[in-house]
Structure 1
Amino acid sequence: MWDYQHAAETTAAPEALWRHWSDIAAWPQWNDGIEKIEVDGPLAVGTTFRMTPPGDDPIEMRIVEVVAGELFTDEMDAGDFVVRTVHRLDRLDGGLTRVTYRTEITGAFDPELGPAITADFPDVVAALVRLGERG
């Protein structure tokens, strides 16, 4: 198993951040790690989407967990391995919100896969935080 987590704190309200997560079709507008996205429904358990990283082939993903306003988990099942990413919002004291992206990979996988997938997490979280802080 391999795992990685990146978190940042912001003054943005969880509701503002959740609005951006809920609009899956708009993710490429603020997430530079997505060139194109095709989504088959809302941010709900069972919804599938195809996310194309810049210069790469599409990746089929599925939403496997949603707690509205708090977290969602997506999963890519590649057969020999599974990549699960939890996207979480936690209310903190002082009106702050912690934004966390946590990825776990299980199964037989190339050891370079995890770092390749998560390399942009600091930039992606920072972009989401900027959007949330703008309202």
Structure 2
Amino acid sequence: MAGLQHSVVIAAPPERVFDVVADVERWPERIPTVDSVERLDDGPLAVGSRTRLRQPRFSPAVWTVTELTAGKSFTWESKSPGVTVIAAHDVEPHADGSRLTLALTASGPLAGIGWLMTRSLIKRYVETEAASVKAAAEKD
């Protein structure tokens, strides 16, 4: 299994940060590493919700929410032949507002080689996502 984790402190209350990170339909306007988002079901994110995400240099991927704690965290996963990717988005209170932690793991028979080929790009994307959520949450 391969993975990474990145945290950022945000000068906004946890509820605001979670609202920004869970509003995946607005990711393309807020996060430059996301080209488009297509929700495949209606309503707010919930366990079982599916979203098609397009990012530069990656094939479109369908992400399915596997865990959700309202106002605090959600985890989703995407499967392709030989690889399962799990991405977690966790928000917790911090003395200066909130701490957002993004974590990504890849597993499966092709995960190792895939990780070697994409690790630095994924790291930049995760860091950019965290910085973009921070900017959006602190803006309002």
- TM-score normalised to the size of structure 1? 0.90
Q: Is the 8 A contact 1:12 1:96 kept in 2?
A: yes
Provide the residue aligned with 2:128 in structure 1.
123
Equivalent-residue separation in structure 2 for 1:55 and 1:86 (angstroms): 21
Q: Summarize deviations over 1:47-104 as a string: whole Å, max 9, x none.
A: 1111111354311111111001110001011141210011000112x34211110011
Provide the residue aligned with 1:24 in structure 2.
24
Q: Summarize deviations over 1:27-48 as a string: whole Å, max 9, x none.
A: 1111111111100232111011
Equivalent-residue separation in structure 1 for 2:99 and 2:60 (angstroms): 30
User: Which residues of 2 match residues 1-135 of structure 1 at below 5 A?
Assistant: 1-40=1-40, 41=42, 42-54=44-56, 56-92=58-94, 94-108=95-109, 109=111, 110=113, 111-135=116-140
Q: Which runs of 5+ in 2 are unaligned?
A: none
Name the aligned partner's letter for residue 105 of structure 2.
E
CA RMSD after TM alignment: 1.6
User: Bigger shift: 111-120 or 14-23?
Assistant: 111-120
Q: Among the aligned pairs, what percent are the same residue?
A: 24
Name the aligned partner's letter for residue 35 of structure 2.
E
Give SS of 2:16's match: helix
Matched residue count: 134
Q: Summarize deviations over 1:77-135 as a string: whole Å, max 9, x none.
A: 1141210011000112x342111100111112222234433322112111111111122
Q: Which runs of 5+ in 1 are unaligned?
A: none
Give SS of 1:120's match: helix
Q: Is the 8 A contact 1:15 1:69 kept in 2?
A: yes
Q: Is the 8 A contact 1:2 1:114 kept in 2?
A: no
Equivalent-residue separation in structure 1 for 2:28 and 2:56 (angstroms): 10
